Structure 1
């Protein structure tokens, strides 16, 4: 029985690509939301952050131009202001967020997605960089 899976995906991100392929490797096809093209609204973004157990600051990508340019590391920004910046500049939203019936996670590293999949069929899988996540016998590494 397949479950409903949603991934907030950026195809230019290796972690996001690995996460998507790990989901597909279990025989399931998620709803793929390219969040740079179709950003979440404020309520969706707040739900992703809250349900994943992250703070707003933990959900922000820090190695992108808007972060540095706007000096978002400064402590005086409120969570609401930071959410506003993430909505205005979706590149600031860390990725990939994955939503399933079992919860919501920011899947960094990508293998965290396996915790969100009910009874996944584990086929051998290696990341793009060659790191083995699931061995030939279907066992998770680590």
Structure 2
């Protein structure tokens, strides 16, 4: 079976919750702390392609540097935006998870459930107290 990979930032709650959901499925993923070991330009292009997204989809718009560099301006090309991410990996939105079932930017963290090959093994509650998985390993429906 293809190993699960997570491009992870341990300082990010969403990333920590996503990692915990992967582990709750009984799998220990390959954890890539992308601030220490950023994906290469080609790897990043492949991840974006596999997600069916665009470079702008993986830009962290809440990052101060995003605003300082004016990256919301429409004149930046994908190649230029990739240059910025390569120079400043903090601009990469996280977490990105790769499994045999697909590649996804997992925001919110429970988006990872759609691409995990193994079911959840038990209850799971996010760091903020939101219950996501019940005692039977089933996804809890969001309150209407």
> Which TM class, normalised by the smaller chain length?
over 0.9
Structure 2 matches for 1:43-82, cutoff 5 A?
43-82=42-81
- Is this contact kept in 1: 2:21–2:120, CA < 8 A? no
Tell me the equivalent position of 1:42: 41
SS of 1:32's partner is strand
Tell me the equivalent position of 1:83: 82
- How many correspondences in the alignment? 141
Tell me the equivalent position of 2:119: 120
TM-score (norm 2): 0.94
Q: Which sections of structure 1, spanning at least 5 residues, go unmatched?
A: none
Cα RMSD after superposing both structures: 1.1
Q: Shift of residue 3 of structure 1?
A: 4.7
TM-score (norm 1): 0.95
Tell me the equivalent position of 1:100: 99
SS of 2:128's partner is coil
After TM superposition, which residue ranges in structure 1, 4 or more long, deviate above 2 angstroms? Answer: none
- Is this contact kept in 2: 1:122–1:134, CA < 8 A? no
Offset from partner CA, 1:87-138 (integer Å, 9 cap, x none)? 1100000000000111100000111111111132431001000111101222
Offset from partner CA, 1:20-68 (integer Å, 9 cap, x none)? 0000111110000000000000010111111112211111001112211
Once residues 50 and 59 of structure 1 are traced to their aligned partners in structure 2, the CA distance between those partners, rounded to angstroms, is 11
